[in-house]
Structure 1
Amino acid sequence: MRHNRLLTACLAAGLALTAAGCSAASPGAASGSVTLTYLTFETPDLTASFWKNSIDNAEAKVPGLTIKDIVSPNTDRDAYAKQLQASGQFPDLLQSITPSTFAQAGLLKPYPQDWVNANFLDPMGNANKGKVYIPPTNSQIIPMVFYNKQLFARAGISGTPKTWAEFTADCAKLKAAGITPIELGGGDSFAAAMPLTGVLSVDVLGKDPNWLRERYAGKVHFTDSNVEAAVAKYRTMVANGYFEPGALSVSYADSIKDFTSGKAAMYMMGSWFLGSIPKAGAADYGSFLTPADDGSVVVPYAVGGSMAISASTPSPDKATAFAESWSLNPANLKTLIEGDGAFPLIKGKTLQDYGVDVSQVYQDSYTYVLQNNTKVSAIGWVTNDDAMPSGLNDDFYAAAQALFNSNDVAGQMAKLDSEWTTATQ
């Protein structure tokens, strides 16, 4: 989930090239055998070995099917899928892409709704226009606030803050004790935007969960006073020196190292950070949510999943059978749970059923997913109907970087409104 990007209008240019489909059945398709292509990606956790094993396991459940693995050369799988589509090579199956624009262009086949309803806790969590193009197998909270219990204790802080006032008071105590309150990693724009995502999700979407859809309708704007007031909280955090010096020069990778080595007391990051907590010292870490003024609990939530299916695949039945088998395989979820901090959403399963080795902070964090609470779309991260227009995620992240060195909250919000208008024309 962490590297998804929305598509641009370039997709439309390629669509004309392959209206009837880009994949071709293997020579043996007439006799019931078929070869399908599958776009994947590799990370330190999702290795080539992981993909081979997961493909072999699902492939074995579909007689006559052979899967050809295509590995994305970079983290922007949407962009690479676009390139493949424009050259007539759109894959039959595509892992962890952003489905919205592909679906709007008629390139994806939805999953059977009865299968989705039967197997997942949040069946419409990542739906687009009432259809599910990627099974909602897992979820993330973006961001959570992770904290170092030893550094809290050193500053005389017991427990976690329940309100925004308590949160900023704790930041002041940490700073007074010579401890950097919050690690940022602002050299990567998405990481710089984590505090902004938190305050907007809580203060704006927490009060109006339909805000993003209302923004599409022109009923609300980034320049509205409630939005600017939330953004001002982030700006105040910067002005008060609650982030590490030179935060815009710290990369995302280095921010993980800095926080886990005790250089800061808190870290606002997506729940995938749970996979990076050192096992040897996991008991030293805890988590909480971005606090609201009134202490209410608001969960900035994003539902992810496995693979999309091309609408033009030559064997939709086999493609669907493979995708369903892969999506429900506990071994695949085990890797995502342990390595990427994913919160599973398959019905009838407990953590024990996945055979995972997870920390207490993971288990505590997962309770937010299972509880009946206020869940809102994590702005800038979701891929459902609350997804921002193409390109706006990056503009939103860039605004967070700009506000690190500028007091011009109104100007940055006006710029976002202008960019929204341009992207939706």
Structure 2
Amino acid sequence: MRRALVLCAALLLAACSVQDGSGSQDSSGGAEITFLTFETPNLTPAYWDAAIKRVTDANPGMRVKKLVAPSTDRTSYAKQLLQSGQFPDVMIAVDPAGFAESGNLYAWKPEELGAFQFPGANPIGGGHHQLPANTQTIPPVYYNKTMFADAGVTAPPRTWAELLDAAGKLKAKGHQPFVIGGGKEGFPSSMLLTGIVSTDVYGKRPDWMTQRRAGNVKFSDPDFVAAVGKFAELSTRGYLDKGTLSRDYAATEQAFLDGKGAMYPMGNWFAANADTKKHDFEIGVFNFPTADGKLVVPAYTGGGISVNAKSKNLDAAKKLALGFQLDKGQLDASVKADGLIPAIKGYQPPADTGPVYRAGYQLYQEAVASNAVVNAFAWETADDGVLPGFKDKIYRAAQDVINGKSPAEVCAFLDAEWSKAG
């Protein structure tokens, strides 16, 4: 398996050579490539340095200048760099919407995507501007098995009614039902909303966001308002602590690991820390419950590297991108460090992955086999994603619901902001 992946990467890379141009070159003719990364509790500086070194070791003469986004909002930072004339040669996990349409991102050719499991993911105007390297389920629900047992919850909830029942029992026992946050990143406040909209709305109409972009549906339509109403119900019942909305992402994760709540809705990347960071209870994971228990699993495939179409070292930038995304060592490292599910043909996770990752991985494989995967609301990109800059409005809407605004008010706000963004 490893040899097959390495050979596939080698064949793809062999087609590329460093262009002559005005970009920075070292004495051996190798290009210096600027690479925009980001750091999280999982993806540390050491992780990025080791991954970059594996690619440069395989490509003598290539030099990489690592740039680090100052927050998890890589897309906004990339916009700042573009506006200041410092757009990087390659960038990872940056939403391509807006950049691609303006001609700033390279459109990958079909033959360059042959190693990827879902090469057609996230098209923009018929082109593919971000390597579809990883799948993330967003959000499964991680839970504290000790608290569940103490509250008499004997099985992970499969339906919405079972989730409400479990939350009620946990609260009655003095356990905070859900761990949420917000802070500068925003998204920890919206994970439950993502789960509800994805299962309730997208589960019935998978192309809902595409239809929203076409103006055929609205946030204020009854099905979407009803989904927001279920989110509001969690707050009105006291299952969400609005006092934690200022807590940032790292502190929110740590709060769950410290036993400050029973359930933690978060992307599957949390599995890496669930398996490695210190905690004194066993962690389980279940799919986000649906109204009737039908299997619907929100996920996103993409998040990979995009390449600056106007890079002075375009061929070298493409070589770095493919080398990074297809390297077996890098794939294994992404699994262990960030709980990702590599969307690479023939890939299998390392045998020593932890139990939480393995459980989540199995849930996803079952969903794929059952054709039960839908887009994750607010995480999709490209032609079927939200408009550029709109995710922050969704995070604000989620926090407004938690703070007591009505679903109708919040949905009207989203429609108004969508009109402005469009």
> Same fold, TM exceeding 0.5?
yes
- Stretch deviating more after TM superposition (384-393 or 124-133): 124-133
Query: Contact 2:138–2:299 (CA<8 Å) still a contact in 1?
Result: yes
Q: For 1:98, what is the secondary structure of its paired residue?
A: coil
- Per-residue CA deviation, residues 117-160 of structure 1 (Å, 9 max, x unaligned), is x2122222233233222211112111111111111111111111
Determine the structure 2 residue equivalent to 1:369: 364
Determine the structure 2 residue equivalent to 1:148: 144
Query: Contact 2:274–2:356 (CA<8 Å) still a contact in 1?
Result: no
Determine the structure 2 residue equivalent to 1:19: none
Which of 87, 111, 116 lines up with 1:120 in the alignment? 116
**Matches of 2:389 and 2:53, distance apart in 1:** 36
Please report how far the alpha carbon of residue 314 of structure 1 lies from its aligned counterpart in structure 2 after TM superposition: 2.6
- Stretch deviating more after TM superposition (67-76 or 176-185): 67-76
What amino acid does structure 2 have at the position aligned with 1:363? R
Please report how far the alpha carbon of residue 313 of structure 1 lies from its aligned counterpart in structure 2 after TM superposition: 1.9
CA RMSD in angstroms comes to 2.3
Structure 1 residue ranges, 4+ long, deviating more than 4 angstroms after superposition: 280-283
Q: For 1:181, what is the secondary structure of its paired residue?
A: coil
Q: For 2:382, what is the secondary structure of its paired residue?
A: coil
- Per-residue CA deviation, residues 265-310 of structure 1 (Å, 9 max, x unaligned), is 1111222221221546587111112211111111111123432111
Determine the structure 1 residue equivalent to 2:153: 157
Which of 151, 174, 180 lines up with 1:184 in the alignment? 180
Q: For 2:269, what is the secondary structure of its paired residue?
A: helix
TM-score by length of 1: 0.86
- Per-residue CA deviation, residues 179-225 of structure 1 (Å, 9 max, x unaligned), is 22111224563111111111111100110000001011111111111
The alpha-carbon distance between structure 1 residues 393 and 332, as it changes in their structure 2 partners (threshold 3 A), is same
Determine the structure 2 residue equivalent to 1:18: none
- Per-residue CA deviation, residues 342-365 of structure 1 (Å, 9 max, x unaligned), is 11111111112xx6x432221111
- Per-residue CA deviation, residues 62-86 of structure 1 (Å, 9 max, x unaligned), is 4553333333344333233223322
The alpha-carbon distance between structure 1 residues 109 and 172, as it changes in their structure 2 partners (threshold 3 A), is same
Q: What runs of 5+ residues in structure 2 fail to find an aligned partner?
A: 1-20
Counterpart mapping for 1:209-220 below 5 A: 209-220=206-217
**How many aligned positions are there?**
397
TM-score by length of 2: 0.87
Which of 302, 323, 346 lines up with 2:344 in the alignment? 346
**Matches of 1:282 and 1:74, distance apart in 2:** 30
**Matches of 2:190 and 2:123, distance apart in 1:** 25
**Matches of 1:81 and 1:254, distance apart in 2:** 25
**Matches of 2:62 and 2:405, distance apart in 1:** 58
**Matches of 2:98 and 2:57, distance apart in 1:** 32
**Matches of 2:188 and 2:381, distance apart in 1:** 18
Which of 211, 218, 221 lines up with 2:218 in the alignment? 221
1:268 aligns with 2:265: yes
Please report how far the alpha carbon of residue 330 of structure 1 lies from its aligned counterpart in structure 2 after TM superposition: 2.0
**Matches of 1:53 and 1:86, distance apart in 2:** 30
The alpha-carbon distance between structure 1 residues 209 and 256, as it changes in their structure 2 partners (threshold 3 A), is same
Please report how far the alpha carbon of residue 421 of structure 1 lies from its aligned counterpart in structure 2 after TM superposition: 0.9
Determine the structure 2 residue equivalent to 1:82: 79
Which of 353, 377, 386 lines up with 1:379 in the alignment? 377
1:421 aligns with 2:419: yes
Q: What runs of 5+ residues in structure 1 fail to find an aligned partner?
A: 1-22
Please report how far the alpha carbon of residue 245 of structure 1 lies from its aligned counterpart in structure 2 after TM superposition: 6.5
Query: Contact 1:283–1:361 (CA<8 Å) still a contact in 2?
Result: no
Determine the structure 1 residue equivalent to 2:324: 326
1:203 aligns with 2:192: no
Query: Contact 1:24–1:313 (CA<8 Å) still a contact in 2?
Result: no
1:167 aligns with 2:163: yes
- Per-residue CA deviation, residues 219-255 of structure 1 (Å, 9 max, x unaligned), is 1111111111111111111111112473335443332
Counterpart mapping for 1:14-93 below 5 A: 24-26=22-24, 32-62=29-59, 64-93=61-90
